[in-house]
Amino acid sequence: MKKNLSVLIEPRLPGIVITFIGAAFLWIIAAFFPTNEGVWTIHNSPLSAWLNNHFTTNPLLLKLLGFLCALIMGALLVQINKYYAFIKTRSLLPFFFFMLLVGSNVSTQYFNFSLVSCLFLLITLWQLFSLYEKKQAVFTTFNLGFCSALGSFFAIELVLFAPLLIFGIYRFKGLTLRTFLAFLIGLLTPFVLIIGIIYLLNENVLSYISLFLKEFTFSLTLNLDSKTIIYLITLGITGIVAVLNIINNPFNDKIKVSRMLGFIIIGFVFFGLLFLFRSNNLSLIFMMEGLFMTTLYAHYFSLNKGIFTFSLFWVQTIISLLYFLSTILAIPLF
């Protein structure tokens, strides 16, 4: 097992180059076979919709920007895993799994300003985990709320994630009145500033508030074909195996890492449920879910050996690639 995956678990230059070229290949192939089949919905917030309407509509440029955006998020995932030692060795697996997840799904290959919220989510997680080692947490908790609010202008899902951030503050630092108020003030500050600007421009504030509140819509109407369902079930099974491995081996990691992985599991479950109940925004939620999912994958495959782990790795990879090919070629492989 170690011999087969060492190129990803302990990366060297050839492994990095192969992974990068392989990821780019997914975007290049999709560019030569444009398709609307299997493309999931993405719901743009008012700000994202306005930015998208005033941005380029060139599909090749949007794919290039989507690839660059995925590269940045994949690199940040590697740094988070390295900085907080989720994986005990240097590993390329977070990058590999994230690029495979995003690249094998044509719905997430195109750049959309709603995806900016994923970058804010990563920054928020980085700051949340930093609370564990900080003596003074007020400024960081303020930043947590502030980043969540800024990200929610691109996608409302970050506001929905705010209660879990409060739980994370309690988990990593202990929730006091000061830290709670700091988070709340940080969360409200961007909204107050925007409302103030709208008022100074003599615009109807209530109409903008009403427009924002309309973003809180939920529905359970998933119209997915059989190959997509099989693809998602495979992703879910691998994620559940990784979660059960962490739960059944609580002493494999340090207390700090165990708590952080516990929060990653909570985020994985939260966005998994949100994927079901926000069917008008599947692409974005899938990307957010991928941030948590790939960390769980990387942790599991880096620390476990054996025929089952080896088989699960290649089954997951092959089904992802088959799903990608069946989508761009419009053939029912499953």
**Residue 235 pLDDT:** 92
What is the pTM for the complete model shown?
0.86
Contacts of residue 310, defined as CB under 8 A and 6 or more positions apart, other chains included, come to 1, 4, 5
**Quick one: which of 37, 43, 13 has its CA closest to 117?**
43
Task: Say how many CA atoms lie within 13 Å of 209 toward its Cβ.
Answer: 8
**Residue 124 pLDDT:** 92
Cβ atoms of residues 294 and 242 within 8 Å: no
Tell me the C-alpha distance between 100 and 121, whole Å: 20
203 phi/psi in degrees, rounded to 5: -95, 165
Tell me the C-alpha distance between 50 and 113, whole Å: 9
Please enumerate, as own/partner, the contacts of 49-58 that have beta carbons within 8 Å and a separation of 24 or more: 51/113, 52/112, 52/113, 55/113
Cβ atoms of residues 8 and 96 within 8 Å: yes
**Quick one: which of 159, 165, 158 has its CA closest to 182?**
165
**Residue 2 pLDDT:** 46
**Quick one: which of 72, 73, 26, 95 has its CA closest to 302?**
95
Domain ranges of the chain: 2-328
Give average pLDDT by consecutive 10-residue segment, the chain, 334 residues.
54 71 85 67 70 75 87 88 76 86 85 84 90 80 91 85 90 85 92 83 72 68 79 92 86 75 92 83 86 90 84 90 84 61
Task: Say how many CA atoms lie within 13 Å of 64 toward its Cβ.
Answer: 6
What does the block give as tokens for 93?
A: 């697996």
